[in-house]
Amino acid sequence: QLQLVESGGGLVQPGGSLRLSCAASGFTLDYYKIGWFRQAPGKEREAVSCISRSGGSTNYADSVKGRFTISRDNAKNTVYLQMTSLKPEDTALYYCAATGRFTTVQAMCVMTYPYDYWGQGTQVTVSS
């Protein structure tokens, strides 16, 4: 079974921080590029941030640029999304996805990109 599992979501006040984790089992994550996506009620799914295999290249949606940071620890088979200065509009179900295809982080960081694996998501709620 090839699986991605997200964790770290929860309830946080506006201006607060959360760190999401995306852990892989059944395959070696360092051979894959990773994207973070989110979907809020009544809104379309959007790409949030993506990272290359080595972590040397990243991409961010304009809505989160300067507030979120994507990183990876290949020794732990895990990718992270550090979320700071959270806003109520960040409330969403956050997913991670992995692709083994040869692509740039810019090209893969779109909603329609055909990823190989998807996690089940972790809920982030930003509210007072």
For residue 54, count CB atoms less than 10 angstroms from its CB and return exposed for 0-12, middle for 13-18, buried for 19 or more: exposed
First to last CA, the chain: 39
CB-based contacts of 4: which residues, under 8 Å, 6+ apart? 22, 23, 24, 96, 97, 98, 117, 118, 119
Q: What is the pLDDT along the chain (128 residues), one digit of tens a residue?
A: 789 999 999 999 999 999 999 999 888 888 999 999 999 989 999 999 999 999 999 999 999 999 999 999 999 999 999 999 999 999 999 999 999 999 999 999 999 999 999 999 999 999 99
